[in-house]
Structure 1
C-alpha cells in the first residue's frame, strides 16, 4: 500500500474535503482525487462517499489502521535521521502537565531547552517522530509498576519519580477534614474529566474495578491552575499528584489511602540519550535516588 496515497486519504477523511486536503498537502484537487481513486482500486473498495465527503464502512476500518501505520513510518524516518545526524546541542522536551513537578523543573538545563507541555498521550508520538528529543509522561499505577504507553514505536522508558496522589476538594466539602480517603468511596461523586491534565477518569475506573467516576465537567486543556480553580469552586473533584494538589487556595488535598496507587513519571526516549538529554536524565535519576 502506497503510504503517499494513505496519507492523502487520512487527510481527506479528517478534513471532509478534497479541496481542503489539496490545500493542506500542496497538491491540486485533481491529484488528490487521483490518489483516492488509486487507493480504492488497490483495495477493491469504496473508501469515501463524495457528497458529503465521509468514510464508508470500509474506509472507517482503514482509518483505524492508517494513522498508526503512518505514525510508525514517521517514527522510522526520525529514527534514521537521529542516527545519521550530528549530536544536538539543545534539548526539546515534550511533557505532560503533571509530569513537571518541582524536582523535574529544577533538573532542567539552565539554557538551550524548549519545553512543550502537551497531552500525555501525545508525548510518546512526539518522541517517536522526532519532534521532541525526550519526553516525560505520567499516570496512576501501583507502586513500582511501569506505565502502559501507546505502542507507537520501540521506545526506551525510565522511571524518574513516584509521588502520592490526592483528591482535591473545596475546603467546604464534607470530606475535607479527612486524613485519607478510599477511592471507591468517591466513585459516585461529581468529577472533572481532564484527561490531558489530571489523572484520567479511565485510570480511576480501572483502579476501582471498571465502574463509577462520572463526569460533571470536561476540561480540554493543559493548564493545571485552571483545573484546580475549577475544583476550588465546586465543579467536581480531581485526582492529582501531591505537589500539584497542595497549596491551592480554597481547597484541601486529601491523600488516597486505598488502593495503594502512586503518580508515576517516566522519561521516554527513542534510543540511548546523549548530550543534554543524557545530562538531564542523570540529574533526574540522582534526584530520584535522594527522594
Structure 2
C-alpha cells in the first residue's frame, strides 16, 4: 500500500470538513501551498476534481461527495488501529467495538461493561454512540462487533436478543391540562403535537408507537423528530409538544417536564443486543449471555 495516498486522503478529509484550505492547513499544522499541492496530486491520481474552488472557500464536487463517506470510515478505522497498536504494546490481547444508542449507555452498558472487564481485563473495548439504524448498518458492514439498539426482530444475518422491555408513558409540560392527571388514555392524545423518533433512526420503535395510535383510532400528529429519548424530553421542555417515552427512561421529574402513566398498555422492547451471525467473532455467544445475565431485571424499572 502506498501510504502517501493515505496521507492525501487525510488532507482531503480536512479540507472537506473545514470547507477552506487555510483553515484545513492550520488544523493539519502545515502551510496552505503544500496542502493545495497535495490535493491537486490526489485529484490527478483519481482523475477527477474533488473541490470547486471559490474566493469564499471550497465546496465538494459530486465526485468529492461520493468518496467522502468512505474516507471518513477509513479515518475512523485508522484511528482505532492506532489505539489497538498502542494498547497491544501495553498488554491488550484483543478488542471489541460496540455501537450503542444513548439510553443503553445509562441503562444496560454499565453492568455489561463491568462484567466484561472483570472476565476479560485485557480486552480493549471501543464504544461508539449510534442510533439504531446506523448501528445495524455498521453491524452488517462488519465495522462493529455488537450493538445495543431498539429493534424487535432478526433481519437476515443480523440477530437480536431483547434485554429491556418497558411501557410507554407521556412526557408533557407541567402547564398542560392533562398534567393534572395521574394517567392519560392514548386516545386523548389524538390532537396533540407529538415529538417522536424519525423512522430512519429506529424503524421498529417508530412503527410500534404508530401502530398503537392507529389501534386507538388516530394517526399521531408528528411535528418534531428527535434522535433520542432525552432529546424528545428536551423538545417537550421547550414547549414543542408532548412525547411518548419509555416509562423507565426518566427516573425523576425534569425542569419543564412531567411524566404521566399511559393507561393503554403498550409494551416495547426498548433495548436489545444485536450481532451479525455471519461475521460474529467466536466469543460473541458468551458476550450475549453476559449482556442478558448482567442486566437481568433491568426491565423491572419504576413505571
- Does residue 28 (structure 1) correspond to residue 31 (structure 2)? The answer is yes
Q: CA deviation at 1:174?
A: 5.2
* Closer, same or farther: CA 42–103 of 1 in aligned 2, 3 Å: closer
- Deviation digits for residues 224-279 of structure 1, max 9, x if unmatched? 3x753652674223343331146536321427756x642123378998699xxx99
- Work out whether 1:16 is the aligned partner of 2:19: yes
* Aligned-residue offset at 1:33: 0.9
Check 1:186–1:24 CA distance in 2 against 1; reply closer, same or farther (3 A cut). Answer: farther
TM-score by length of 2: 0.59
Deviation at 1:75, TM superposition (A): 7.1
**1:242, 1:46 → 2: CA distance?**
52
Q: What's the counterpart of residue 60 of structure 1?
A: 65
* Cα offset, 1:67, TM superposition: 2.4
Counterpart position of 2:272: 265
Structure 2 CA distance for aligned equivalents of residues 201 and 103 of structure 1: 18
| Partner Cα separation in structure 2 for residue 32 and residue 9 of structure 1 | 9
- Contact 1:40–1:46 under 8 Å retained in 2: yes
Which secondary structure does the structure 2 equivalent of 1:214 belong to?
strand
Find out whether 1:137 has 2:148 as its counterpart.
yes
**Structure with the bigger percentage of helix:** 2
CA spacing shift, 1:104–1:201, aligned 2, 3 Å: closer
CA RMSD in angstroms comes to 5.3
- Larger radius of gyration between Structure 1 and Structure 2: 2
For residue 96 of structure 1, the aligned residue among 88, 97, 101 is 101
SS in structure 2 of the partner of residue 164 of structure 1: strand
Aligned length: 266
2:236 alignment counterpart = 231
SS in 2 for 1:27: coil
Q: What is the CA distance between 1:77 and its match in structure 2? A: 2.6
CA contact (8 A) 1:48 1:56 kept: yes
Q: 2:222 aligns to what SS in structure 1?
A: coil
- Determine if the alignment matches structure 1 residue 254 to structure 2 residue 262: yes
Give the whole-Å Cα distance in 2 for the aligned partners of 1:165 and 1:264: 12
Instruction: Please give the alpha-carbon distance, in whole angstroms, between the structure 2 residues aligned to 1:120 and 1:97.
Output: 8
In the TM superposition, what is the alpha-carbon distance from 1:99 to its structure 2 partner? 0.9
| 1:113-192 correspondence runs (5 A) | 118-120=129-131, 137-139=148-150, 141-142=151-152, 145-146=153-154, 159=161, 161-170=163-172, 172=176, 181=186, 189-192=192-195
Q: What is the SS of the residue equivalent to 1:213?
A: strand
Contact 2:171 2:244 in 1 (8 A): no
Matched residue SS, 1:49 = strand
Residue in structure 2 matched with residue 213 of structure 1 by the alignment: 222
Alpha-carbon shift at residue 16 of structure 1 (Å): 0.8
| TM-score when normalising by structure 1 | 0.61
- Residue of structure 2 in register with 1:151 after alignment: none
State the partner residue of 1:39. 42
